[in-house]
Amino acid sequence: MAVLPDNPAPTGLSVYIHWPFCASKCPYCDFNSHVAETVDHARWRWGLMAELEHFANETKGRAVTSMFFGGGTPSLMAPETAAELISAVKSKWSAADDLEITLEANPSTAEASLFQAFRDVGVNRLSLGVQSFHDEHLEFLGRGHSADEATRAINLAAQTFPRISFDLIYGLPEQTPEQWRDELRGALDLAGDHLSVYQLTIEPGTVFFRDGIPAADENIGAALYDVTQNTLDDAGLVAYEISNHARAGFECRHNLDIWRGGDYVGIGPGAHGRQSMVSGTDALYQVHNPERWLAKVESDGHGTAKRHTLEDGARADEILMTGLRLREGVQAERFKHLTGQDISAFLDKTRLGQLMQGGFVKQTESSLRVTASGRLCLNEVLRQLLVRP
């Protein structure tokens, strides 16, 4: 195993908190989200606080640079729960003065009415799950809001939070590049400094998968992707990651740190984390089922189901797989700091040369990155690049 530097964690610590409950389950969603008739908010607040306390004790002395409430639909949690968790993060770790605190939310009227309450307790970045501005598409996607509600929620969020983002999905049945371009241009009238855009994928275990809903044709998907890049680039929202676009300085700090291989604590059912240790990087996985997670926290003080130290190759692959999603790619100096070895030690030189010659990958002394052509077929590039000799 490679010997890590004395300080194996060169960046701050990110904290992710998972709220697993939703008002309904979307037919395309394969996240750890659940519909519950009732939620004992006091019990869940205690459980999340207890696990946070556990990880705070494990990572004393670290500086937290970002906090992210994901789900599920975390805007369904009581604002008092968010308040206690934010206060605990700031008191138990050294928190940056400009700590980024993101909350995911849906644009329903009921949730929008709580925006100010979440802003008052410290949330300074809101990410809205809009997905579409067409009612027929929203109905197909099983969303619980209308296009008008989405527009109102975005406007309210922009008035309430310093930073906002919203998600859109493309690659819907019979969607044409021209239709998608028009929708994107309309979205830009509402977009601030960040926008996340995803192609619809049909994941095993989802309703869409069981119903046999087809994924977009490969050629159509590529055309829709090109429309996305060209339209958003022209508007100044550059793709800093394969699906995330932002003006310079408005990237999501939490996700960016993780894609760069930074350490993070995962709190809540199904969350996972990475912690740099003297012997390497530990991977942690929390119990997936919400009730089982909560019961384990109540008995053990944490809900960790599995913890192990990543082997050198596995850690390197992780950093490469996430880092190559970024426009900046993987920085050679940072990679060596995180793994103790050069990037070249983990790559098949023949395949790398072929990918570079084909214009899919570019390597310099300071970085390895995927080109615009390579991002169009990123999964295949990664598959080729990460094959061991």
The domain that holds 141 is classified in CATH as: 3.20.20.70
Q: Would residue 291 count as lying in a domain?
A: no
300: left (phi over 0), alpha (psi -120 to 50) or beta: alpha
Q: Would residue 215 count as lying in a domain?
A: yes
Q: Which of 238, 257, 276 is at the close of a domain? A: 257
Same domain? 77 vs 211: yes
Indicate whether 329 pLDDT > 80.
Answer: yes
Please tell me the predicted confidence (pLDDT) of residue 106: 94
Q: Would residue 348 count as lying in a domain?
A: yes
Tokens standing for 233? 């680039």
Q: 């009238």: which residue's tokens?
A: 189
Strand blocks (E) in 185-252: 194-199, 238-241, 244-246
Is omega for the bond preceding 72 within 30 degrees of 0, making it cis?
Answer: yes
Indicate whether 2 pLDDT > 80.
Answer: no
Indicate whether 6 pLDDT > 60.
Answer: no
Same domain? 228 vs 338: no
Please tell me the predicted confidence (pLDDT) of residue 110: 76
Cross-strand partners of 71: 19
CA angle 228, 248, 255 (to 5 degrees): 75
Please tell me the predicted confidence (pLDDT) of residue 248: 95
Alpha-carbon distance of 249 to 80, in angstroms, equals 30
Give the chain's mean pLDDT: 93
Judge contact between 243 and 300, C-beta under 8 A: no
Alpha-carbon distance of 37 to 278, in angstroms, equals 45
Please tell me the predicted confidence (pLDDT) of residue 267: 99
Indicate whether 5 pLDDT > 60.
Answer: no
Indicate whether 366 pLDDT > 90.
Answer: yes
Alpha-carbon distance of 294 to 369, in angstroms, equals 41
Please tell me the predicted confidence (pLDDT) of residue 247: 96
Residue 155 CB: number of other CB atoms within 10 A? 13
Q: What is the pLDDT of residues 36-77, one digit of tens each?
A: 989 999 999 999 999 999 999 999 989 999 999 999 999 999
Same domain? 68 vs 193: yes
Burial 370-385 (b: 16+ CB within 10 A, else e): bbeebbbeeeebbebb
Q: What is the mean pLDDT of residues 374-378?
A: 91
Per-residue pLDDT band for 389 (boundaries 50, 70, 90) equals: low
Q: What is the mean pLDDT of residues 358-369?
A: 96
Closest-CA residue to 229 (of 385, 30, 378, 380): 378
Which strands sit side by side in the sheet containing 163-170, from one edge to the other?
A: 238-241, 244-246, 194-199, 163-170, 125-131, 94-105, 63-71, 13-19, 264-267, 272-277, 280-286, 304-309
Please tell me the predicted confidence (pLDDT) of residue 104: 97
More confident residue, 229 or 5: 229
Percent of the chain predicted with pLDDT > 90: 85
Tally of domains in the chain: 2
Max mean pLDDT among 61-65, 120-124, 278-282, 348-352 falls in: 120-124
Same domain? 96 vs 193: yes
Judge contact between 39 and 27, C-beta under 8 A: no
- Residues whose CB falls within 8 Å of the CB of residue 160, separated by 6 or more in sequence, listed in order: 115, 116, 119, 126
Indicate whether 99 pLDDT > 60.
Answer: yes
Q: Would residue 316 count as lying in a domain?
A: no
Same domain? 104 vs 234: yes
Same domain? 96 vs 244: yes
Indicate whether 193 pLDDT > 90.
Answer: yes
Q: What is the pLDDT of residues 302-321, one digit of tens each?
A: 999 999 999 989 999 999 99
Closest-CA residue to 88 (of 125, 113, 54, 117): 54
Closest-CA residue to 157 (of 193, 182, 185): 193
Same domain? 249 vs 380: no
Please tell me the predicted confidence (pLDDT) of residue 4: 37
Q: Would residue 2 count as lying in a domain?
A: no
Nearest-10 Cα torsion for 104, 38, 28, 149? -50
115-119, 343-347, 354-358: range with lowest mean pLDDT = 343-347
Q: What is the pLDDT of residues 109-144, one digit of tens each?
A: 778 889 999 999 999 999 999 999 999 999 999 999
Q: Which of 195, 226, 257 is at the close of a domain? A: 257
**Cα distances (Å, whole numbers) of residue 300 to 43, 78, 132, 235, 373:** 15, 25, 42, 51, 49
Task: Give the chain's end-to-end CA distance (angstroms, integer).
Answer: 19
Same domain? 200 vs 338: no
Same domain? 352 vs 223: no
Indicate whether 26 pLDDT > 60.
Answer: yes
Closest-CA residue to 297 (of 73, 53, 21): 53
Under DSSP, is residue 171 helix (H, G, I), strand (E, B) or coil? Answer: coil
Q: What is the mean pLDDT of residues 87-98?
A: 93
Same domain? 98 vs 245: yes
Q: Would residue 94 count as lying in a domain?
A: yes
Cross-strand partners of 49: none
Q: What is the pLDDT of residues 166-183, one digit of tens each?
A: 999 999 999 999 999 999
Indicate whether 214 pLDDT > 80.
Answer: yes
Indicate whether 217 pLDDT > 80.
Answer: yes
Q: What is the mean pLDDT of residues 280-288?
A: 96
Please tell me the predicted confidence (pLDDT) of residue 387: 67
Same domain? 240 vs 338: no
Please tell me the predicted confidence (pLDDT) of residue 1: 37
**Cα distances (Å, whole numbers) of residue 349 to 17, 343, 344, 387:** 40, 11, 8, 10
Q: Which domain holds residue 109?
A: 13-257
**Cα distances (Å, whole numbers) of residue 18 to 74, 148, 234, 273, 293:** 7, 28, 35, 12, 11
Per-residue pLDDT band for 225 (boundaries 50, 70, 90) equals: very high
Q: Which of 236, 257, 278 is at the close of a domain? A: 257
Same domain? 18 vs 142: yes
Q: Would residue 59 count as lying in a domain?
A: yes
Indicate whether 254 pLDDT > 70.
Answer: yes
Q: Would residue 8 count as lying in a domain?
A: no
Please tell me the predicted confidence (pLDDT) of residue 348: 86
